[in-house]
Amino acid sequence: MSLTTADPLRTLPDYEKGNFAHIPAFLSSLLGAETPSPLTPERFGFRPGQFNKVIFLFLDAFGWNLYSYFRNRRHRVATRLTERGQVHKITSQFPSTTAACVTTFSTGEVVGKHGVFEWQYYEPEVDDVIVPLLFSYAGEKRRDTLRDAYIDARDILPTRTLAQTLQEAGIRTLSFVPKEYTATAYNQVMTRGAKVAGYRTVAGGLAALKRAIDREQGPALFHFYTPHIDSSAHALGPFDYRTLAEADATLLLIDRFLLHPLRGREDALIVISADHGQVRVEPNETFYLNLQPEFQELRCYLRANRKGEILPPGGSPRDLFLYVLDEYVGRAQNLLRKMLGGRADVLRVEQLIDMGLFGTKRPSEDFVKRAGNLVILPRGAGTVWWYEKKKFELTMYGLHGGLSRDEMEIPLILYRP
């Protein structure tokens, strides 16, 4: 049984025709840097090197489902983008996560190559499960606790950035992110070669972006990242009225500070996309593996770190990666299928690699070492997770990471002011 047969609403990543992983090379080509990508400028009626200013607006969690919501209701800005620009449906990577896609944008590498694939995963260099974006141990709320433990981010994160590559081609990169991100260990490694500006509000950030566009003389890639839609969708649900208000406000601010003021700029192109959408979930219906009676048997099959502690899963409640002792993978897979019934599919990571879910080429050793050997993919909007009070428990109403259409489908919007 295939993944899409088991759940017809699943969408597999399209690494051949249109995927988030193609965006960095596409942006580079628009500015004249020769980088192969299925998303060629010619495909959209442009020429390589046609633009002197490319503005990439990275709207976390503004998936195709949210774009469609505003387009179908004739939202003023969504209508302008649709009718005066180009809007194409592409897919996220798998897992459909911010960690995977932000790292892909920062490095130009597909998730299977750079290996930073999920919110949390086992890091062999640390011998523990970590959260790469926070650069902390899994389950901790504070940022950069790995740095406090004298772990160098350059030892466990990719070391070559897109900004460095563009710099060598004579193209500047200017990155606008929330102010609290600028000094983090992850951001400092992933933005090397770029000029980074922190903003306090979306309006203030977009105003600063517009000023930078006006002042920059040479060819430049401008990158603006906002997590605000994603944060609201996680806390309240992707179609809660407050999440819709956040998305509405973001679109109106983009119009106010970019679409309208940049009118007539023949040398500029605005590109808007997202890392993923979100699916509505019910946290009180989560199936917690380690609270089931069968867990006592499953526990015997799981790997432990050097301190003898059982490794919690990587991934998320939408794509749970388990670390199983190699000799017990078959037993663990059969037991999990029995435990879960029809609520989820249990597959070997190697199966997903063979299916090309992490890219068209064999993943890197970093990826393989971090991904474990079994993956649980809940069907529908289900969730399967691990429970430790105030450390691992699901309290969110919106999630991503899985293969559902709402998580995987994203817009690629091209707009010439």
- Transcribe 347-400 into DSSP letters: EEHHHHHHTTTT-SSPPPHHHHHHH-SEEEEESTT--EE--BTTTB----SEE-
Please report how many Cα atoms fall inside a 13 Å half-sphere around the Cα of residue 290, on the Cβ side: 17
| Token pair recorded at residue 59 | 């709207």
Tens of pLDDT along the chain (417 residues) come to 578 777 788 999 999 999 999 999 999 999 999 888 999 999 999 999 999 999 999 999 999 999 999 999 999 999 999 999 999 999 999 999 999 999 999 999 999 999 999 999 999 999 999 999 999 999 998 999 999 999 999 999 999 999 999 999 999 999 999 999 999 999 999 999 999 999 999 999 999 999 999 999 999 999 999 999 999 999 999 999 999 999 999 999 999 999 999 999 999 999 999 999 999 999 999 999 999 999 999 999 999 999 999 999 999 999 999 999 999 999 999 999 999 999 999 999 999 999 999 999 999 999 999 999 999 999 999 999 999 998 999 999 999 999 999 999 999 999 999
Q: Which residues touch 364 (CB under 8 Å, ≥6 apart)?
A: 112, 113, 114, 115
**CB 90, CB 410: distance < 8 Å:** yes
Amino acid code (one letter) for 208:
A
What are the structural domains of the chain? 3-280+404-415 (3.40.720.10), 283-399 (3.30.1360.180)
| pTM, two decimal places | 0.97
pLDDT for position 1: 56
Tell me which residue has tokens 């393989």: 368
Helices (H), 14-75: 23-30, 64-72
Alpha-carbon span 262 to 28, nearest angstrom: 21
> If residue 186 lies in a helix (H) or strand (E), which one and from where to where?
helix 185-190
Task: Specify the length of the chain in residues.
Answer: 417
Beta strands in 150-254 (DSSP E): 172-178, 195-199, 220-226
Q: What angle do CA 212, 164, 157 make, to 5 degrees?
A: 110
The SS3 call for residue 183 is coil
Alpha-carbon span 193 to 16, nearest angstrom: 29
* Four-point Cα dihedral 374, 156, 356, 321, nearest 10: 20
pLDDT for position 4: 73
User: What one-character DSSP code corresponds to residue 284?
Assistant: G
Q: How far is CA 39 from the centre of its chain?
A: 19
**CB 119, CB 317: distance < 8 Å:** no
414 Rama class: left (phi>0) / alpha (psi -120 to 50) / beta: beta
Q: Do the bridges between strand 172-178 and strand 86-91 make them parallel or antiparallel, or are there none, so unpaired?
A: unpaired
